[in-house]
Amino acid sequence: MSQGWLQVKPKPGTMGSNVAGAITVNCLRMMSSPTIPFWHYDTFKETDVRAATKWMIIDRLEQENSQIFSQRVLYDGNKNMYSPEELMLPNGNAGGVFSVPLNYPRKTYTVVIQRVNIIQPVDVKLALMQSGDWDKKQIAINLMNVLLRSYPARLNEITVKGRGFYTKNGSQQTGHGVDFWRGFITSVRPSPSHFIINIDASVIPMYPSSYLTDAVCNYTGRGPGRGPGQLGEVTANTTAAKRLRILILRYIKGLRVLIAHLESSRGPVTKKISDVLWESAASYTFEHEDGTMTVQAYFRKYKNISLKYPDLPILAMIGKNAALPLELLKIVPGQPYRGVLPERVAPNFLTFATQKPQRRLNDLRGSTQLLGLDLLPPTGNLPQRHRSPYLYESGVKVDQTFMQVPARVLPPPALQANQPVSIRDPAQGSWNMTSQRVYRPATVKNLHLILGTAPPGDIQQFTRVVDQMITIWASMGIRCNHQNQQETVITRDQIQDFQGLQGSLNKFYERVKQNKSVGKGNSLVVVFVQDSAKAMRESTKWWGDVWTGIPTQALKVSKLMSQRGLDQYARNVGLKINSKMNTSDGGTPRSGINVYARSLDQTIMRDSPMIVGLDTSHPTPGSQFPTTAAMVYSIDEYATEYRSKVTFQRPRQELISGLKESFMAALQAHSRIEKRSGSFAKRVIVFRDGVSEGQFAQVMEAEVRPILEALKGMSETLGKMGIDHPIPRLTFIVVGKKHHIRFFPQPGSKMADRNDNSVPGTVIDTDITTPEPNLFDFYLQSHGSLLGTSRPAHYSVIYDDSGLSADELEKFSHDLCHVYQIATRSVSVPAPVYYADKLAGRSSIFFHDVFRRNETASTFSDEMTYEDWSNHFDSVRARPENERMYWL
């Protein structure tokens, strides 16, 4: 089965050849593939065994059955095993069942081995061919990845997570219950001429190797110095205590710990925490053969242990019956942290992960030793310390010099605001709007200002700064002339708490409803908050985005009152406000527009195209909270103004349901704007975010096919109305952001910016792309760098029935990266992708009313199905998605 559906794969592009050159990419070329066959076996049947434990089981299996495993086997950490020789298994070499005891953890496991097939060297080479069975190619690629990863995965100092390998070397202890480790992500993929090894730097949050009491104190902000006594509040009947209990439970549930007071002949005793009991060792009692006793008394009498914190009301449940004090439990080293990083830790993690290009490249060059890629024969009497026996013995050879790949730099689009001349110099990925007025100004007829925190300094100074900001908005062309009260009515309020916020918002809403001549999209609420005011911000956004449909903007007082850069800050806020509000031109509501691209490809734009962005956002594992699916679609002639649709589906369902109906409605909305010029959409271009290469076939069936049905349905509907309209052509592009290809231009060259990243517009569509004949892909870095090493976006064109060229696809994608309305910089992905991503990520806002009513939201949400969530949302929302870009 093919993985692409292009009738004709376009030839590589040529645009930008006047600024071109070779740049380094973080890929190594495999000079030869395996020269020996491998027998493929299916292994584990147990599904609840950790990956690290599976590695230990396979090692022990080999040790105890050396007559069967006379040569090293390859293992993928899941269920696939590969052997360079046929295994002499009990069941006629076709299969066997083995019992494997482990000392740590203490348990006997059953391993069922079943032969699948034989992978010959020619099968591996077929993965590089432009024709052939896709499934067989994937089997060969999986073998190559297992060959690469088998050496580092079995090193003692390595922690394996997914495709990553991490060590304590260069780690950082934060003192907040989460440490940071460095490592590398690896993968093998086919290219047009060779297999290539993609190696990238990676960082991961890890649990600290400390006693659980210290870790919990640090994680909850009760240490160091404050001690576990500060955790006594956890049992209080308050909202803060409920949140604290949820925080601790999520942190330690499922964690593997060493039990300090237990030791056996087979080593330390390791257990997993199953739950938390909110009682202290001094008060919790259980039945013992000597009668009822407390946990504290038990350890003092039978283990000769005097607890330091007997009154700490937190006991870790081990299994169903054992309740142990935290101070007796030590976290097993090498456990990746689960869940979302706390707000006070996340910035430090970002700083730790940020590396400038040349430092990153140097680290990657050093990773070849960790991966065992020194495959040359040893010289003299020197031992070969960094050679993977798995790669070496299979005949694989690797060029250890990172690849040099030809690249081009696409020109930026001509951007236009409300001036007779274009915006100057967007070539470096940024432009200046200081002297520009927005292209299509919004109108603010009702402005409500709410101060939700004490301002620094006096209130008069705060009022003056706010007035200056509004004046700057007016200078941008936004119609908010507060000097003329008949044009813009401004009201001000100061509140102390959530009740005050709700009262002020609702009072303003009543006033808006009474004035029928002013639309909701021409009213605005600005709430001024302190830095840590996530709940107040989300409450305001829910009120505006879901309940009333009135635009809102939350601003941090600290940034507003900063003595530096008020003009720039106010203009950035003005861009957001103008984009999310409506004009006052009457008729169909239209959004304010800041800039548009004048030079969008005419082959595409003359077809009145509808440009679409699709994305999904998933809940945490185990939650019954629904997956949010977001769709945005353009409605104007510049592919700049968008409307949206949000739906909810089963948790962690990636493929979007109901697209036929969604596209039919979107095409109708698009035609209502375009029909003024007698034109309907003749072309639809979809940018899909969030799916992996392995899901392309599913996307084709579950998403592309329903869209095609919608396009056909539109043509048939118009035909019944007497309008002869051809079926719109469709281009479907998957935009990937989670890949690990990086560009490293030569510092100081024309391909490099001042931070040694590639300049905006750098595109690569050869050498490291797919060999598939019906799939066209390219890597495009459209944005300028701010920190660290820039990540290009990976575009995979999986469907196109109009035969667009590589230049047309690449340039149009690049141009759309310049019309993200709230930025004066080009962004990393096309604007509709960015919009869909922002919209899909607003689930906490969409259901903020539910969470506020029930502070134990994690428990409450588990009692609701995704249908309950969806029905609740439909019952309360005001549907601003039909009128404006409210998510900005």
pLDDT of residue 674: 55
Q: Which of 246, 179, 238, 245 is nearest to 214 (CA)?
A: 179
Residue type, 809: L
Determine phi and psi for 684, rounding to 5 degrees. Answer: -125, 130
Determine phi and psi for 160, rounding to 5 degrees. Answer: -100, 130
Tens of pLDDT, residues 337-386: 988 888 889 999 999 999 999 999 999 998 888 888 876 655 555 445 67
Give kind and range of the element (H or E) at residue 632.
strand 627-634
Give kind and range of the element (H or E) at residue 492.
strand 489-494
Q: Which of 872, 819, 741 is nearest to 438 (CA)?
A: 819
Retrieve residue 657's tokens: 């349901």
Residue type, 461: Q
**What is the spatial distance between Cα 541 and Cα 543, in angstroms, rounded to a whole number?**
5
Residue type, 436: Q
**Residue 443 DSSP class:** B
**What is the spatial distance between Cα 79 and Cα 75, in angstroms, rounded to a whole number?**
8
Domain annotation for the chain: domains and CATH numbers: 212-331 (2.170.260.10), 440-591 (3.40.50.2300), 600-747+767-880 (3.30.420.10)
Give mean pLDDT, residues 12-36: 93
**What is the spatial distance between Cα 617 and Cα 467, in angstroms, rounded to a whole number?**
38
587 pLDDT exceeds 70?
no
83 pLDDT exceeds 60?
yes
- Residue 404's DSSP bridge partners are 24
Grouping H, G, I as helix, E, B as strand and the rest as coil, residue 118 is: strand
Distance between start and end Cα atoms, the chain: 41
**What is the spatial distance between Cα 760 and Cα 369, in angstroms, rounded to a whole number?**
33
pLDDT of residue 382: 46
Cis peptide bond upstream of 224, omega within 30 = yes
| 256 Cβ contact partners less than 8 Å away, ≥ 6 residues apart | 270, 271, 272, 273, 331, 332, 335
Concatenated DSSP letters of 236-264: SSSHHHHHHHHHHHHHHTT-EEEEEEEEE
- Nearest-Å Rg of the Cα atoms of the chain is 30
Percent of the chain scoring above 70 in pLDDT: 92
pLDDT of residue 857: 45
884 pLDDT exceeds 50?
yes
Q: Which of 651, 649, 611, 650 is nearest to 631 (CA)?
A: 611
What is the average pLDDT score of the chain?
88
**What is the spatial distance between Cα 621 and Cα 42, in angstroms, rounded to a whole number?**
26
pLDDT of residue 486: 47
Q: Quick check: 441 and 591 in contact, CB under 8 A? A: no
Burial 713-739 (b: 16+ CB within 10 A, else e): bbbeebeeeeeebeebbbbbbbbbeeb
Q: Which of 884, 846, 794, 809 is nearest to 200 (CA)?
A: 794
**What is the spatial distance between Cα 812 and Cα 412, in angstroms, rounded to a whole number?**
10
The number of C-alpha atoms within 13 Å of 536 and in the hemisphere containing its C-beta is: 25
Tens of pLDDT, residues 260-290: 777 655 567 888 999 999 999 999 999 888 8
Concatenated DSSP letters of 767-786: SSS---TT-EEEEEE-S--S
425 pLDDT exceeds 70?
no
Q: Other CB atoms closer than 10 Å to residue 241's CB: what's the count? A: 16
863 pLDDT exceeds 80?
no
pLDDT of residue 256: 92
Beta strands in 495-641 (DSSP E): 523-529, 552-556, 596-597, 610-617, 627-634
pLDDT of residue 214: 92
The pTM score is 0.91
Q: Quick check: 455 and 561 in contact, CB under 8 A? A: yes
Q: How far is CA 458 from the centre of its chain?
A: 42
Q: Other CB atoms closer than 10 Å to residue 437's CB: what's the count? A: 14
| 233 Cβ contact partners less than 8 Å away, ≥ 6 residues apart | 240, 241, 244
Tens of pLDDT, residues 758-800: 999 999 999 999 998 889 999 999 998 888 999 999 999 999 9
pLDDT band, residue 856 (cuts 50/70/90): very low
Grouping H, G, I as helix, E, B as strand and the rest as coil, residue 545 is: helix
pLDDT of residue 519: 77
Crossing angle for the helix pair 534-542 and 498-514, to the nearest 10 degrees: 20
pLDDT of residue 264: 58
| Residue whose tokens read 């605005």 | 524
pLDDT band, residue 128 (cuts 50/70/90): confident
pLDDT band, residue 706 (cuts 50/70/90): very high
**What is the spatial distance between Cα 480 and Cα 477, in angstroms, rounded to a whole number?**
9
Q: Quick check: 90 and 98 in contact, CB under 8 A? A: no
Grouping H, G, I as helix, E, B as strand and the rest as coil, residue 222 is: coil
The number of C-alpha atoms within 13 Å of 41 and in the hemisphere containing its C-beta is: 29
Determine phi and psi for 150, rounding to 5 degrees. Answer: -65, -35
Crossing angle for the helix pair 212-219 and 239-252, to the nearest 10 degrees: 130
The number of C-alpha atoms within 13 Å of 416 and in the hemisphere containing its C-beta is: 13
